[in-house]
Chains A and B, each alone.
Chain A
Amino acid sequence: MRQRASPRADTAVIASHSQRWCLLAALLAIGIAPAWAQQPVSSAVAGPQASPAPTTGSQPVSPAPAAEQASEIQRRAADDAQLPAYLRNNAVASDLATYDPWERYNRRIFRFNKRVDTALAKPLATAYVRDVPEPVRDGVSRFYTNLRQPVIAVNLFLQGHPASACKSLGRLAVNTTIGIGGIFDPATRMHIPSYDEDFGQTLGRWGWRRSRYFLLPFFGPGTLRDRFGSVADAPLGPIRYFDPTRLRVAVIGLEVVDVRAGILPLDELGTGIDDDYILVREAWSQRRLHQIDDQDVDIGDDR
C-alpha cells in the first residue's frame, strides 16, 4: 500500500478524500498532453495491444526449452502488470473499459449530481474558502482525516498488514491527543506513516476486482463493490456516534463543504468536454484500481 499523506472522509458522508485525488489525478493526467512534441510518425503504432518497437532485440520466437518458455511467459506477464491496459498483450475488452451495464441509469444520476453541485455544494464551498482563513480550513481537513483512521486501520488489518494497522492507530492516538482532536498533525512530524484504505479496496484485494459502475444520488463515482464497502465501513466512522443529531449533521455537512473546497482550485481549469461522464468514469476507475493494487509498492512494513 502506498502511503498517503492526508487521507480522510467518513464513509457515511457524501464525499471522500480519495475523490479529491481522483479528480486531481484525472486532471494531471490529462494536463500532460501538451508535452506531446513534433516527431516523425515512422515508429508509431497503435491498437489495444500495440507496443513500441523494441530497441534491444525482439521477443524470442524460436523453439525453446519448456522452462525457458515458462520463464518468458512469466516475464511477459510481469511486464504486462506494470503497463496500462492498452499496452498489455493479454488485455481483453474488460481491461480497456469500465464495466458499466447500467450506463443509462448512471448517466441520469451523474447529471443530477452535477446539478446538486452547481446549486448547493459549490456555492457553499466557495463561500467557505472566501470567509474562512486557510489555517483554519487546514485544521478542519486534518480533523476529518484523523476521524478516518479507525476505518483505515481495520482495513489494513483485513488486508494482512497488522503493523501498518498499528501505525494507523498510532496516528489516531497521537493526533487525537497531542494534535487536539486531530486539528493538528504531530504524527506526520513524528514520521508515522499515513495510509488510505477502505473496505471497497479490501474487497478488491480479496478478489472482487471487476465490479459494475454504480452511481448514487448525492454520491460520487463508485462501483457496486465500493457501495457495499462503504456500508461495511460505516460503523467505524466516529461521526455517526456524535450526539445530538444536530451536531452530527453539522459535522457531516462541514465535511462535505471541506471536501468540495479542496477541489475548488480545479474548477478554474474550465468547463467540460462534450461528454464528461466517460472522462470521470474512466479516470475514477483507473484511480480505484491503482488504490487496490498499490500495496505492492510499499508492503515491506508487514514482512
Chain B
Amino acid sequence: MVLVALIGLVLASFAPRADAFGQAPGQLVQVNSEHVLHALEQRRAEFQSHPEALHRFVQGEFSQSFDRVYAARLVLGDSNHATSDADVQAFADALVDHLMARYGSSLLKIHPGLHVKVLSEMPLRAGSIVKVLTMVDRTNGARISVDYLFHQHAGQWQVFDVIVEGISFVQTFRSVFADVLRSKSLPAITEDLREGKILVGSTAIDHPLGGH
C-alpha cells in the first residue's frame, strides 16, 4: 500500500514554497517533500472526510513548478513538430487533469515515517539541466530511487521529468503515445483523455507475472 501512496508523494513534491523561491533544485525537492508530508500528517483526517479538500491541495501543490507543456512536447517527440502550441497545451492540460484525478487520492496512503533524502544535485548541459537524485526510505527499510530533472523557465527551476527506479515518465509516455499517434490525431487523443476513454498509467499492474 505504501508503494501506491508514493505516487501521491511524488505528485505533491513539486510545489514551490513561497520562501523557497530562488532555492537550488535539490533544496526545492527537500523542502517541498517535507512540506507535503507535514501537511499530510496535520490534515489527514480532513482529507479523508473531504476528498475535494485533498484535490484542491494536490492541485495547488502542482500548479506552478512542473513545466507541463515542455514535458508534453518531450512526450510527443517527433509528433510535436506537426502540432500547434494550442494543441500541445490542450493535450498537456488534459493529461494532467486526467492523471490528477486518478492518482491524487493516493497521497492518503502514505504511512507516517516515510523519509525523502536528497542525495546529490548534478548540473548537466552547462548547468541548463539539473538532475536531483533522491532516495525515498520506507519505514521497513526499503529504498526507492527518485530522480528529478529540472530546467529553468521564466526565472524559476521547474521539473520536466521524474525518473523512478530508472523509469522516466517522459520516456515511457513517449513510447506509449508514439504508438497511439500513428492512428489518431493529437486533438482526438486529447478528447479521449478528457472523456476518460484513454486510461493512462496503470496498465502495468495487470501484468503481474514477473521475470527478467
Binding site for B on A (CB under 8 A): 2-6, 9, 14-41, 43-48, 50-59, 79, 82-87, 96-98, 110, 113-114, 116-117, 121-122, 125, 138, 185, 188, 198, 200, 216, 218-223, 226-227, 229-230, 259-260, 263, 265-276, 278-284, 286-291, 293-294, 297
Contact = CB atoms under 8 A, between A and B. Distances in A.
Given A29-B168, A283-B172, A288 B212 contact: yes
Interface string B200-212: 1111111111111
Given A30-B99, A38-B63, A84 B170 contact: yes
Interface residues of B, number: 100
Interface of B: 1, 3-4, 6-8, 10-11, 14, 58, 62-74, 76-78, 80-81, 85, 88-89, 92-93, 95-97, 99-100, 102-104, 106, 109, 122, 124-129, 131, 138, 140-146, 149, 151-154, 158-176, 179-180, 198-212
A38 B77 CA distance: 19
Contacts of B77: 46-48, 86
Contact of A269 (B10, B64, B122, B201): B201
A266 B80 contact: no
Q: Which among A44, A125, A278 has the greatest number of chain B C-beta atoms within 10 A? A: A44
Given A40-B69, A41-B88, A266-B3, A46 B11 contact: no
A51 B153 CA distance: 13
Given A35-B62, A41-B89, A283-B167, A276 B210 contact: no
Sorted from nearest, which 6 A-B pairs have the closest CB atoms? A290-B166, A19-B210, A36-B68, A276-B203, A272-B203, A226-B212
Nearest to A266: B205
Contact of A79 (B63, B124, B167): B124
A25 B164 contact: yes
Given A27-B201, A33-B95, A290 B167 contact: yes
Contact of A16 (B63, B72, B125, B210): B210
Contact of A59 (B126, B146, B161, B209): B126
A31 B128 contact: no
Nearest to B84: A41
A23 B206 CA distance: 9
Nearest to A185: B141
Given A30-B172, A260-B208, A36 B167 contact: no
B211 A33 contact: no
Given A37-B66, A44-B73, A84-B161, A23 B204 contact: yes
Contact of A286 (B4, B104, B106, B166): B166
A28 B149 CA distance: 15
Given A34-B62, A46-B73, A15 B209 contact: yes
B129 to A, nearest CB: 6
A140 to B, nearest CB: 14
Contact of B73 (A4, A28, A50, A223): A50
Contact of A14 (B143, B160, B210): B210
B205 A27 contact: yes
Given A274-B198, A287-B166, 4 more contacts: A28-B144, A44-B70, A82-B124, A86-B174
B212 A18 contact: yes
